[in-house]
Structure 1
Amino acid sequence: MQIETPPLLRDTPKAQGQRRGLVIVHTGNGKGKSTAAFGLALRAHGRGKAVKVYQFMKVPSARFGEHRLFEQLGIPIEGLGDGFSWKSRDLEHSAQLARDGWQRAEASIRGGTQFMVVLDEIMYPLRYGWIALDQVLACLRERPPQVHVVLTGRQAPDELVAAADTVTEMLQRKHHFEAGVPAQRGIED
């Protein structure tokens, strides 16, 4: 590691534009996409802002760590799916759950009462064709100007990346699964 001298002056200009709702995408093969989105939700909630979290791949009865904490804090979180595709017994049913879930999420976004709407793991139903990308893009373009939308999942479509204000790609450099360490409660769920 090379030691650096801390900067004494700001090295970037201060933004001069108007504050407005943002479209934020967390994508890539690395860990932390949902965790980063949940961090934003917690930050907004801590400022007294209305937040709603939709999880496209989790079942409505899910009780992972985020569900337990968000319930304690009063942040609504809703599972819209029936698990990942390899766990599904009926992919058409999974697709219909995604479409129905998108209708609820879209209504929240367009309704304008939420400061932030998180669409966790929405990239899967987009990639599978269960939700039409053009509908999502239209909703993002037409949403009320104060609404922030955070979308997560691997392989974000180029069109979504282009429409977003901020895109972070999580890069996996090393993962404990590769060393044979299984998923652990409190880390992966």
Structure 2
Amino acid sequence: MSDRDTRHQQAMQKLKSRVDQKVAEATEQRGLLLVFTGNGKGKTTAAWGTVTRALGYGYKAGVVQFIKGLWECGERERLGEDPNLEVAIMATGFTWDTQNREADTAACREVWADAERMLADPDVYLVVLDEITYMLKFGYLDIETVKHAIDTRPPEQTVIVTGRNAHRDLLAMADTVTEMQEVRHAFNSGLQARRGIDY
């Protein structure tokens, strides 16, 4: 065995030892709170990927879309027939298009009722609150209401929160926080969103 191969084997043995130790220390079993935030692309896509994973194992999942509900959504099109998936949408489109705070608040609260029902249901394994961060930022929803619903959910249920500028209280509560960082975005160079890629 060459020196390089020996060094590689030793490095991999050390890595395996560290990974094995972390696996042995991970003894708690419960649902998680994941927050996908940041200015980069991919937060909703990551959430839908996790929905696909849960459905693949036969778990029930719920997705509540607070912003993009009127947009085409390839994931929703593909997975929508799965009997284990429920999708609720805030059917107003982007708030910067509607420009009507009262109507947007009413629409938000209406779909939030669906979210609260899902968050209280022990049969729902995964709930995605897609773009809910904007609802908190614009004051359509109260942070204490959202925190209470997440805090009192069934212990086996996992929740994913997506959107830019996640509220500091949600970040503090989260088990996992992933921040998507934008290095470059095609839209800023004049390229249109692409069907099947961006939505």
Measured after TM superposition, the shift of residue 53 of structure 1 is 0.7
Residue deviations 1:118-146 (CA, integer Å, cap 9, x gap): 11111111110100001111111111101
Q: Which residue of 1 aligns with 2:4?
A: none
Supply the distance in 2 between the matched residues of 1:65 and 1:167 (Cα, whole angstroms): 25
With 114-123 and 4-13 compared, the bigger mean Cα shift is at 4-13
Assess if the C-alpha contact under 8 Å between 1:21 and 1:148 holds in 2: yes
Which runs of no fewer than 5 residues in structure 1 stay unpaired? none
Instruction: Give the percent of matched residue pairs that are identical in Structure 1 and Structure 2.
Output: 37
How many residues matched? 185
Shift of 1:95: 0.9
- State the shift of 1:100 in Å: 1.5
Cα offsets for 1:54-79 (capped at 9, x unmatched): 101134x6542122112243422221
1:117 deviates by: 0.6
- Following TM superposition, the consecutive aligned residue runs of length 4 or more in structure 1 with deviations greater than 6 angstroms are none
Structure-2 separation of matches of 1:179 and 1:58: 22
Question: What's the offset of the Cα at 1:33?
Answer: 0.2
TM-score scaled by structure 2? Answer: 0.86
Distance 2:71 2:184 in 1: 28
**Does residue 7 of structure 1 match 2:16?**
no
Match of 1:65 in 2: 74
Query: After the TM superposition, which residues 119-158 of structure 1 pair with which residues of structure 2 at under 5 Å, given as runs?
Result: 119-158=129-168
What SS does the aligned partner of 1:119 have? strand
Q: Looking at CA atoms only, which structure, 1 or 2, has the larger radius of gyration?
A: 2
Deviates most, 102-111 or 125-134: 102-111
Q: Secondary structure at the match of 2:115?
A: helix
Q: Secondary structure at the match of 1:134?
A: helix
Q: Is the 8 A contact 1:81 1:94 kept in 2?
A: no
Q: Which amino acid aligns with 2:74?
A: G
Does structure 1 residue 178 correspond to structure 2 residue 188? yes
The TM-score, its normalising length taken from structure 1, stands at 0.91
Deviation digits for residues 2-49 of structure 1 (CA, Å, limit 9, x no counterpart):
xx9573332342133221010111000000000000011000110110
SS at match of 2:37: strand
SS at match of 2:177: strand
* Gap regions ≥5 residues in structure 2: 1-6
Secondary structure (helix, strand or coil) at the match of 2:77 reads helix
C-alpha distance in 1, partners of 2:197/2:89?
Answer: 19
Counterpart position of 2:37:
27
Alpha-carbon offset, residue 163 of structure 1: 0.5
Please tell me the residue identity of whatever aligns with 2:76. H
Output the CA distance in 1 between the equivalents of 2:135 and 2:124: 23
